[in-house]
Structures are given as structure tokens and as C-alpha cells.
Structure 1
Amino acid sequence: MNLSTSYMGLTLKNPIIAGSCGLTRTVDQIKACEDANAGAVVMKSLFEEQIREQDAELEQSLAMHPEALEYLRADIDMRYGADAYTEAIAKAKQAVSIPVLASVNCYTSKWWMDYAKKIQEAGADALEMNIFVMPADFTKSAADIEAVYVDILKAVKAQISIPVALKLSPMFTSFGNFALRLERAGVDGLVLFNRFVQPDIDISSLQTTMTPSFNDPAGFGRSLGWIGLLSGQLDVDLVASGGIRDSLGVAKQLLAGAVAVQVASALYAKGLGKIQELLNGLEEWMEDKNFATLDEFCGNLNHINSPRPETYVRAQYLKAYTNVE
């Protein structure tokens, strides 16, 4: 059984990528992911706030990314500077043979040019940019917000030659059009979708708090739907992220058109042994369906190839339930 796949020109021995999380922070952890049979690893993100704090031109007024704020407060022992991050990349590349993708979490284009080059020089196989611009400024239009993403992508692509993927949220007015703009701007891969900490209120202390969103049942369907719609229409590699709990979920995302899947929450919950469990189940399903390689079925049920393409369109979903009381 051949489980190999290609992601942004990189050869992966299988489609299970250990996503950026606390389990991919150190060289030893990355090696553990390889030993657990991960096809690739995305390192724990370097946050723009870390670079700003390290930079001598630290701005006094910082509209902090909400996920980064929680990260810096609750995970302070795990914070390392941008230079140490590139050192970790170099050591990881010496320690493992699987692709190692760097990850940066950003919301402006100003701070990333030098560090993008340093990440490439350190030996990272690719760069995943985890971008989220909170539309809290009500004077900004959807086009204004989208332009920030495109500007960041273009600026980074102008500085480095390694592949660049964007890990995105689904919260765009016309996601398909936005994905097309990113393709034209040179993106190599899209990871769909990101998760965020959510605001909450402690009614006892009357304080606002933040809550992680590890359990997001709707996340899997959002990812599956948009991968199915984009697959075959964009010349961009698509990776599924969010809500992947078992091997059948992996198979579904591949059928929709993903070239690989990222898992993180499942690894927190079940340990790194979950990777081999997913692979074993995928092989069993492939054997049952007489598939010898991923290429034989990846994208077979995307919007273009599906015998029921209307299932990817919400209006048809509503029509299907017209008679349900």
C-alpha cells in the first residue's frame, strides 16, 4: 500500500501532518512525531508579537492577536525568540528526515521580511503563515481586510523561494474569490481551516476570559465543503485541518481533494500513537475499496467529479430538507 503524497512539491511518506501545536515545539518533540510515523511536521508557531517584543522598535500600542495574547500569557515558559526559533529549525532538520515546516502567526507584512529569509536559511522545507486579521475596525471593508493577507503573502514570496502556505479562517465574504486572489498572488498551499481561542465571560468574577476551541464539531464540515469546492479549480495544494478524529475522516478529506490532513487536537487527546492508528485505518479502508495509492481516489468526490455536486452548495442543502418538519 502506497500512502505517499505530494504537498507543495514536498514528498510526504503519508498524508498525516502533525499540525503546529505544543507537541511540535522542540527538536525532541519533532523527532517523536517522526518516530510516530508523521508524514511531516509543522513547528509550533512563532508569533509576530514575539518579534515585536524582541525588536528595538517595539510599538507602544499593540492590537494584539487574541490567540497570541493567550499564548504569551499562559505559555510563557515556551516562549523563545525569533533567533532561537531559526536555531530550532536547523537542529530539527539535522535530526529528522521528514519535511519540517516553519509556522509564523502574523497580521501585518511589516515584520516578516528578515525572518522569512532567516527561516529559509535555517533549512525549513516550507513556511506556513497562520494569518488572522480581526475585523475589529468597523471602518475597514472586506476588501481592506483581504488586501492585508495578499500583501503579506506577496511580501514574503518576494523574499524566499521555499513554498508558502496560508492557514486561514473561513470568515470571508466570498471565500472562493479570496482563494483565487491568493492563488494569483503565488500561494503554494492552503490549510483549511484555523481555530481560535474564543471570548467568554466568567459570571462569578465578572471578568472576560478566553476559551480554547479544541472541540469544534462544525469545523470538519466547513473544511470538507470548501476543499471539495476548491479542489480541481485552483492550482493550489489543499490541506484539511480541524475535527479530524478518525481514519474515515482522513479518507473523506482526501476524497474531497485534500492532499494531506493536519492533526493536533487528536494528538493532545490520544497521544502520538494516534498517527499510526489513523494510517492503519486508512490502509484498511483503501484495501476494502481496492485502492493501492492515494492518487487513485484523491479528489474523486470534489465538486467537479462528484456525481452529486449539488451537495457542496448550500442552496441545494436547504432544498433537500424542504419536506422535513
Structure 2
Amino acid sequence: MDLSTRYLGLTLKNPLVVSASPLSLDIGNLRKLEDCGAAAVVLPSIFQEDIENEIDEMERLVAEGSSEAFSYFPAHMAENVGPKNYLDLIRKARAAVDIPVIASLNGTTRTGWIDYATQMEQAGAQAIELNIYYLPTDLNQSGAEVEARYVDILKAVKGAVSIPVAMKLSPYFSSVGHMVKTLDQAGADGFVLFNRFYQPDIDLEELALVRDLKLSHKGEIRLPLLWIAALAGNVKGSIAASTGVQTAAEVVKYLFVGADAVMTTSALLRHGVDYMKTLHDGLVADLKLREVENISEIRGRMSRGAVGDVAAFDRVNYIRILRGGVHHG
């Protein structure tokens, strides 16, 4: 059985990719994930704020003449400025595993995106995922201005590096498909659909905002399924599915709508890194039952473009769901 796929111009042994999470900070975890079937790994996002805070702290300590500066930044201080630890992680990961290592960058300024992306490439990252976690809470900012920001960031990074660049996007654009097409035309090598924004809750006892991390569940697969089905075959860039992957069934569903790769983290955080083998073996078992020899036999078979009149299909589907609900209610 041939499970191989292409993502961001890279040949992967199968479509299973470890998305960005703290699990990938540990080299032992990376080796185990590779042994269990992972075909590529996205390292955790490096945040521009963390880098700049590190630089600011060093400058403060040096300005104060504190001896702490020399313990905090030992030996060659200049080499420790900025994202040194992250760059070391990229190098160590490349040395430890044979699968592709993708860096993840979350910047805030044009300079930050360019500088850190360049350093990631130099450290050996085989691709970069731009995790543009941007909430447009400025009520005076238009949708067009928000979209232009994404395009500007992509073009700046693409102009600075020669390795593939993927855009990790949220589903909250007024026209997701048009945004993806625009970024595709601007040179994006692939798309990760979707990013999950972590909204706050309220603790009514303490009257305080609660910021906690909720792992995704398989019910969240439906929105990415919809948009991947609509985009598959209509963009040059690769498409990676993200969110809601708990079992091999979700992996297969994403492949049917046209995903080139399928990413997961929540399942691994819930069940441990060994769970990657469960996902891999489950994928193989499902394809065997379908008598599939090559993933290309199922990829995109249930995409929106695989049906005839797509506009009518969307409308009829909507009506059937509502009428079905009334009928069964």
C-alpha cells in the first residue's frame, strides 16, 4: 500500500503530520513520533514577543551592571540573543529524525517575520508555517485591511526565504475561499485549515477572565471539511487539515474531501505520543477494507468539485438538512 503524499513540495511517507505543540519541544518525543508513523512534524510556534522580551531583559540586566546578566546569558552573550534556543531546537530535530521538520512562526511586525523566518531557514527548517494569530478587535479596521495584512506578511517572508511557506489561517474571514485564493496567487505554498482562536471565559466567583486551553474534539471537523472540500483542486498550494482529528476516521474523511496532509495534536496530548501508531494503523486498516492501494484513489473523491452543479448542491444540502430536522423532530 502506498501512503505517500506531497505537502509543501515535500514528499511525506504518509499524510500524518504532528501539528505545533509543546510535545515537539522534546527530541525523545520527536523520535518516538517518527517511529510511530508521523510523516512530518511542526515545531511549536516561536512568538516574536518572547524573543523581544528576552532581548529587553538582557539589555536591562547589562545596563544595571548586574552579574545576573552573565549567568542568564553565559559565555558568548551575542549568540544567545533572540531565538537561539528555538534555532537550536530546529538543528537538534533535524539531526534526530529523518522526517521533515517544519518551523512555526508567530510574528507581530514585518521586520520580525522576515528576520526570524530567515534564521529558521538557516538553522535547517525544511518549511515554515506562518501562524498569523491576529484578532482584529480594532472596530475601525476593515476586512480589506485585515486581508491586506496577511498578504503583506506572506510576500515579505516569501521574499526573504527560499523554503516553502504555509499559511495557518482561521475560518473567520467573510470569504474564506477568496482569502485562500488570494494568498495562493501571492505565492503561498500551502494552507493549514484551521487555526483555533482561544477565547476567554469568565469566572463568576472571582469575576476574572479565564484563559484555558481546550483541546479540540471530533465534532470540530465539520468546518474544515466544508472548506477543504470547496478548495481542493482549486488552488496550487497544498492543503493540510487541522482540528478535530481524534481517530483514523477523521483522517480518512479529510483525505476524501481533498486534504494533502492531516495534522493532529489534541489526540496526542490526550493519549500520549504512542497514539500516533494507533492513527497510522487505523488509516492502513481502513484503506485495506476499501481495497485502496494508493491514497490518490480516495483523495478528493468527495470534494465539492467532484459533484456536478456545485451551487445547487450547496443549496439542496442545506434544504435537506433543515427538512430532515423538521421531519425527525
1:55 Cα deviation after fit = 4.2
Aligned equivalent of 2:49: 49
TM-score between both structures, scaled by the size of structure 2: 0.87
Give the paired residue count. 303
TM-score between both structures, scaled by the size of structure 1: 0.88
Aligned equivalent of 2:135: 134
Matched, 1:199 2:200: yes
Residues 1:272 and 1:291: Cα distance change in structure 2 (over 3 Å): same
Partners in 1 of 2:171 and 2:122 — Cα distance? Answer: 32
Aligned equivalent of 2:9: 9
What is the correspondence of 1:57-72 to structure 2 with a 5 Å cutoff? none
Aligned equivalent of 1:300: 301
Higher Cα radius of gyration? 2
Asked if the contact 1:198–1:213 (Cα under 8 Å) also holds between the matched residues in 2, the reply is: no
Could you say what secondary structure the match of 2:211 adopts?
Answer: strand
Asked if the contact 2:19–2:43 (Cα under 8 Å) also holds between the matched residues in 1, the reply is: yes
1:239 Cα deviation after fit = 0.5
Q: How far does the alpha carbon of each residue in 1:165-215 deviate from its partner, in whole angstroms, 9 at most, with x for none?
A: 011110001111111110011000100011122211111111112122313
Aligned equivalent of 2:31: 31
Asked if the contact 1:227–1:240 (Cα under 8 Å) also holds between the matched residues in 2, the reply is: yes
Q: How far does the alpha carbon of each residue in 1:202-238 deviate from its partner, in whole angstroms, 9 at most, with x for none?
A: 1111111212231355521011110000001111100
Residues 1:121 and 1:312: Cα distance change in structure 2 (over 3 Å): farther
Matched, 1:187 2:163: no
Name the aligned partner's letter for residue 220 of structure 2.
G
Asked if the contact 2:243–2:264 (Cα under 8 Å) also holds between the matched residues in 1, the reply is: yes
Matched, 1:95 2:96: yes
Aligned equivalent of 2:220: 219
Partners in 2 of 1:254 and 1:117 — Cα distance? Answer: 32
1:312 Cα deviation after fit = 7.0
Residues 1:95 and 1:217: Cα distance change in structure 2 (over 3 Å): closer
Aligned equivalent of 1:262: 263
Mean alpha-carbon deviation: is it higher for 136-145 or for 34-43? 34-43
Partners in 1 of 2:313 and 2:120 — Cα distance? Answer: 38
Could you say what secondary structure the match of 1:2 adopts?
Answer: coil
Asked if the contact 2:19–2:263 (Cα under 8 Å) also holds between the matched residues in 1, the reply is: yes
Asked if the contact 2:33–2:274 (Cα under 8 Å) also holds between the matched residues in 1, the reply is: no
1:309 Cα deviation after fit = 4.6
Name the aligned partner's letter for residue 227 of structure 2.
W
Residues 1:28 and 1:260: Cα distance change in structure 2 (over 3 Å): same
Partners in 2 of 1:27 and 1:216 — Cα distance? Answer: 27
Asked if the contact 1:239–1:259 (Cα under 8 Å) also holds between the matched residues in 2, the reply is: yes
Residues 1:104 and 1:312: Cα distance change in structure 2 (over 3 Å): farther
Asked if the contact 2:32–2:274 (Cα under 8 Å) also holds between the matched residues in 1, the reply is: no
Partners in 2 of 1:310 and 1:181 — Cα distance? Answer: 21
Asked if the contact 2:18–2:265 (Cα under 8 Å) also holds between the matched residues in 1, the reply is: yes
Q: How far does the alpha carbon of each residue in 1:292-311 deviate from its partner, in whole angstroms, 9 at most, with x for none?
A: 01112111111111468569
Asked if the contact 1:196–1:212 (Cα under 8 Å) also holds between the matched residues in 2, the reply is: no
Asked if the contact 1:228–1:312 (Cα under 8 Å) also holds between the matched residues in 2, the reply is: no
RMSD of aligned alpha carbons: 2.0
Structure 2: runs of 5 or more not aligned: 59-80
Asked if the contact 1:16–1:39 (Cα under 8 Å) also holds between the matched residues in 2, the reply is: yes
Name the aligned partner's letter for residue 226 of structure 1.
W
Aligned equivalent of 2:19: 19
Q: How far does the alpha carbon of each residue in 1:3-52 deviate from its partner, in whole angstroms, 9 at most, with x for none?
A: 11111111111111011001011323322221222100000110121122
Partners in 1 of 2:310 and 2:254 — Cα distance? Answer: 15
Partners in 2 of 1:15 and 1:293 — Cα distance? Answer: 12
Aligned equivalent of 1:274: 275
Name the aligned partner's letter for residue 54 of structure 1.
E
Aligned equivalent of 1:71: none
Mean alpha-carbon deviation: is it higher for 27-36 or for 280-289? 27-36
Asked if the contact 1:18–1:41 (Cα under 8 Å) also holds between the matched residues in 2, the reply is: yes
- The percentage of counterpart residues that share the same residue type is 39
